[in-house]
Structure 1
Amino acid sequence: MAHIDYYFSTLSPYAYLAGTGLEEIAAKHGATVTYKPLDIMALFARTGGTPPAERHPSRNAYRAQELPRQAKRRGMVLNLKPAHWPTNPAPSSYAIIAAQNAGGGDLGALAHAIMRACWVEDRDIAGDDVVRACLQKAGFDPKLADSGLLSGAETYARNLEEAVNAGVFGAPFYVVDSGQSFWGQDRLDELDLHLAGKL
């Protein structure tokens, strides 16, 4: 059975645009997934990336075209300039970590609900009320938003170190225990083919 380490940021529009594709592919192939939310800005700094605010205007202009195209292609709604972006991704990331440790709900639905709250619903995913609502919607105890903060912070920091060591430099990033890595929501088809033994 294959295992996938899923590195992502709850602030990433591209991780949002992945939708539930990873979960569908994992279920299709009987693969397991470990969710590893991380600090994407710190990852950029460690791996030669540049935060959007510091990128050349031509790169941001392309991003402004590419994101709506990708959303339309996937039949998804996307607000290119959400009201609460960037915001502090730590509370939502800690909640995903706590939910993964607790079990009992749908982690993919939780991650997607959080990113949808940012990129569609104009809600601040740093807010406890938003995080609690997403936890409840995905079948988890909303009180997880208030628990395991120290453990969440430690795991969040460890996820960044593991990402750097695994050659991760962006989000979403999928690392399979076969040694193959896939960067971006537009590589999910390749991940599917790889797990099927065709790539």
Structure 2
Amino acid sequence: MLLFARFVQPLLSIQKPSSGGYRHFWAWLNAVFNKVDYERIKDVGPDRAASEWLLRCGARVRYQGLDRWQQDYNGLPTGPLGKYKIQAIDATDSCIMHRGFEYLDGLEHVQEIKLCKCIYIEDACLEQLSKTVNLQQTLLRMEIISCGNVTDRGIIALNKLKSLEYLSLSNLPGLKDKETTLEILRTARPSLKLELDLD
């Protein structure tokens, strides 16, 4: 009992930081995770560097020619540089944010992207993604679900993705002029299959 009183009780009396302090810490840490390391891209190639960024932030990737998803950072495949090409990205519940999207610039085989419950995804992310020349040519399928910071501006920017065949939009409270936004998309991309659950 004396040991408990001497060592454990003082620990129990330590006050926890305010919830604002926790939020600030996590926002800072997530910003660190999203910082682009240009030297790393040069050293290991765009696919490996992007894989490291995505997994570090809690997303997962699937490589060309493989069926399984890679989500363990420590289990990233090794081998000759450039052997593993990212074909699909699932960023569900991840902390990816705008500052990390430059990692997408060198990717040449991405066909699918899923953004679901991503608290840091905002219009600037979708605008940058849409300006990425390689993604304009290769991206076929995209899902944006429960990303509260996405507005009409971000969705309209997707009309630059020339190869996009399928777009699923669900639970996006930031869309305020849905009809106009969807009409702009349909006019720009008549062959695009839209799946909507925005009520």
TM-score normalised over the length of structure 1: 0.23
Higher helix share: 1
Greater RCO (CA < 8 Å, at least 6 residues apart): 1
TM-score between both structures, scaled by the size of structure 2: 0.23
Q: Which has the larger radius of gyration?
A: 2
